[in-house]
Chains A and B, each alone.
Chain A
């Protein structure tokens, strides 16, 4: 009509092509800016021996925080003044930390010091040349206290952060992980069925569970109680020496718990219990029906009498004025105060071969802290950063300052020598000031123990350090990504069907065969290769 099509469109197409070509050429050149923003050392530092007393370095730090960090927060100021540095904390949303960091790495923004989550990410970042190697003698020279304290806590700690024989990260500790999972009984039910002490052998445990489900311990005339549910089952596995999901050392080799022949006996027992309605029929859906994920609602509602859900921190009573957590204890107290105060904290029962246990975490967690690759070519800056970290961790008092803030203003010791925040400050506020684990990422287990005061003491008194079975595989296996989803599904199906009886016990051998063939054999090989390097 008004426009003739052919004459107008040709120049447009040519223009488009020109634009495309121009952007393609320009785009790839400017995006490769490795190294973070700001912070150039002065030219006087060209030889390595000059101590950089005049140079003020700027360190960029990324860790996952609960709230954006105030750049002028008191703890940040304190650090900057004491060590004569400039700190730039990169705000990263905590729950999406790894994703956002991956984006930053891809666009070339690598901070100086940042958290790395998980061994597989460690390997990935090393292969992408993002992490700086940390020579152990360099570390020892510049951060002697930190080095000494870490090695004291666990001698081979740096082996865990090694890739191809070189150390690339500083592992993090968790003292609380050394407490095993709970073994808690309803003490009031025990009294009602006439049992005085917590069971010590598997037979006594079985007898008690049968009583819980058959002898109406809550006294309401209905058979609506069970002995145990999903998490309680762990003690039976442990009584034969293995936890299905964990790798254990057997005569110098790492073996995978779920395929051990002893598990067959455990499953036979569990199947019998399930048939006799000692195990909650709904155990497959777990013990938590809403609310705080770590609380065993089945236990709180009086459906089961034994649980291993959550960790020590949820089950402990409130030990002092102002004590927090204890979520399960508090929930139970709201519903049934007597039950809450008569909880019996037992130990895992001993099986026929003298073994016992429930899950336990590892002292060294899979969270680590690493340094950006560019620090390798700037040893003075690297050294200064290490010195700063050393100064933050070299004594309990210093650590408390960098974690909690200024004594007397933000926190103080209460009667039990536990540091508590003043003025209704919360953990979120600690984050905002620059404290908590935003920068102080390397807490020594000794400090964790000291600052939890009565909790650690109570836990040790109640045998929470006894009877834990940790996972001895502390790395990410190369083929894990390929096989684990399928293998885990296979394992879960096999175990649940044997317990509920939909498959016979003989199916166990079939499952072991299938597991090995579907990649399990490969995993065992890789696990032992890794284990050999740790000796």
Chain B
């Protein structure tokens, strides 16, 4: 008969304290978003901003202002395109690189790893990168946004460490059956590596979704700019840089419009998270190895 484990006072106290701290921390993190949400549906006459949650009025005006911008649809399309292509390409290349570098029998493995890590510390800078992209003829195409940052060295090392943690026995069993390296990677290792794939996908997708600076310098036509650039323009529409000459500007972008912009930007990505959640949580090696 199994006895119910008695919990000491210490354990109980810790548990209560733990929950309390975590609940407060999560509230502190959720609060800014709730605040922005309520601010984004407030009419913009209320220029003085207080920090309470209940909106003082209700209007869709701010969202209208955001979506009325003709470049918004282009922005969404460009961002989706870039995120889709960028994530798939990065995933593919990173997984291949990490897998190879994790194999102990790969010749000169240390040298290649150092070679790659070196790039994490030293980079060319803004102007050489700009010249490079320009000379390669990538200007004004989506490849200028996808190719330069195709492999993130840090992510690749994380992936490599993950592959290192997989037992060699599943591979050997496949090899005995006659599979070559590619087959092993895609049929055996990858299905088991869903946590790392989910992580990489998330990191890359979020990076591409949020990126604006590269789009700003490499894209020359207005309809190829990504969403973030368009939104940034909306928010800065009445900012100080214009103030000296055009003292007759009709409006300065109000706090509520800025809040609406932020919600439009973050909501899609937040919705993306739950779909990947299950891949993080599920146990990896359950049922694959006996003994």
> Among the listed B239, B245, B251, B255, which residue makes an inter-chain contact with A174, where contact means beta carbons less than 8 Å apart?
B245
| B15 contacts A by Cβ under 8 Å | no
Chain B: interface secondary structure?
loop
For A448-460 the 0/1 string (1 means CB < 8 A from B) is 0000100100000
How far is A487 from B9 in the complex, measured between Cα atoms in Å? 60
Count class of interface residues, chain A: 35 or more
> Among the listed B130, B233, B245, B251, which residue makes an inter-chain contact with A67, where contact means beta carbons less than 8 Å apart?
B233
| B222 contacts A by Cβ under 8 Å | yes
17 contacting pairs across A/B (C-beta < 8 A): A3-B105, A66-B242, A67-B222, A68-B71, A68-B222, A91-B220, A94-B241, A103-B130, A107-B127, A107-B130, A176-B244, A290-B47, A290-B49, A291-B254, A297-B47, A331-B47, A437-B246
Please state if A9 and B108 are interface contacts (CB–CB under 8 Å).
yes
Please state if B221 and A68 are interface contacts (CB–CB under 8 Å).
yes
For A311-331 the 0/1 string (1 means CB < 8 A from B) is 101000000000011010001
Count class of interface residues, chain B: 35 or more
CB under 8 Å from chain A, chain B span 116-144: 126-127, 130-131, 134-135
Please state if B71 and A300 are interface contacts (CB–CB under 8 Å).
no
Please state if A291 and B242 are interface contacts (CB–CB under 8 Å).
no
| A365 contacts B by Cβ under 8 Å | yes
Please state if B248 and A8 are interface contacts (CB–CB under 8 Å).
no
Residues of A within 8 A of B249 (CB): 324-325, 427
Residues of B within 8 A of A31 (CB): 131, 135
> Among the listed A68, A103, A334, which residue makes an inter-chain contact with B45, where contact means beta carbons less than 8 Å apart?
A334
CB under 8 Å from chain A, chain B span 28-87: 45, 47-49, 71
How far is A96 from B242 in the complex, measured between Cα atoms in Å? 12
How far is A295 from B108 in the complex, measured between Cα atoms in Å? 64
Residues of B within 8 A of A30 (CB): 135
| A367 contacts B by Cβ under 8 Å | yes
Please state if A297 and B48 are interface contacts (CB–CB under 8 Å).
yes
Question: Provided the pairs A324-B248, A325-B248 are in contact, do residues A95 and B221 lie with their beta carbons within 8 angstroms?
Answer: no
Please state if A174 and B237 are interface contacts (CB–CB under 8 Å).
no
Report the minimal beta-carbon distance from A58 to chain B, rounded to whole angstroms.
16
Report the minimal beta-carbon distance from A157 to chain B, rounded to whole angstroms.
16
Question: Provided the pairs A66-B237, A365-B245, A427-B250 are in contact, do residues A100 and B47 lie with their beta carbons within 8 angstroms?
Answer: no
Residues of A within 8 A of B189 (CB): none
Report the minimal beta-carbon distance from A312 to chain B, rounded to whole angstroms.
8
Question: Provided the pairs A106-B130, A107-B134 are in contact, do residues A289 and B251 lie with their beta carbons within 8 angstroms?
Answer: no
Residues of A within 8 A of B11 (CB): none
How far is A31 from B236 in the complex, measured between Cα atoms in Å? 34
| A221 contacts B by Cβ under 8 Å | no
- A66-B242, A290-B255, A325-B250 known; 10 other A-B pairs, CB under 8 Å? A68-B223, A97-B241, A100-B216, A106-B131, A290-B47, A300-B48, A313-B247, A324-B250, A325-B248, A437-B246
Report the minimal beta-carbon distance from B129 to chain A, rounded to whole angstroms.
9
How far is A436 from B248 in the complex, measured between Cα atoms in Å? 12
Q: Residue of B at shortest CB range from A4? A: B107
Please state if A437 and B241 are interface contacts (CB–CB under 8 Å).
no
How far is A95 from B237 in the complex, measured between Cα atoms in Å? 10
Q: Residue of B at shortest CB range from A455? A: B248
Please state if B48 and A291 are interface contacts (CB–CB under 8 Å).
yes
How far is A452 from B248 in the complex, measured between Cα atoms in Å? 8
Please state if B245 and A437 are interface contacts (CB–CB under 8 Å).
yes
Residues of A within 8 A of B223 (CB): 68
Report the minimal beta-carbon distance from A24 to chain B, rounded to whole angstroms.
13
Sorted nearest first, the 6 A-B pairs with minimum C-beta distance are: A68-B222, A291-B47, A5-B107, A1-B105, A176-B247, A290-B49
- Listed residue (B48, B106, B239, B240) with the most chain A CB atoms within 10 angstroms of its CB: B48
For A440-470 the 0/1 string (1 means CB < 8 A from B) is 0001000000001001000000000000000
| A86 contacts B by Cβ under 8 Å | no
Residues of A within 8 A of B135 (CB): 27, 30-31
Residues of B within 8 A of A297 (CB): 47-48
| A2 contacts B by Cβ under 8 Å | yes
How far is A292 from B250 in the complex, measured between Cα atoms in Å? 13
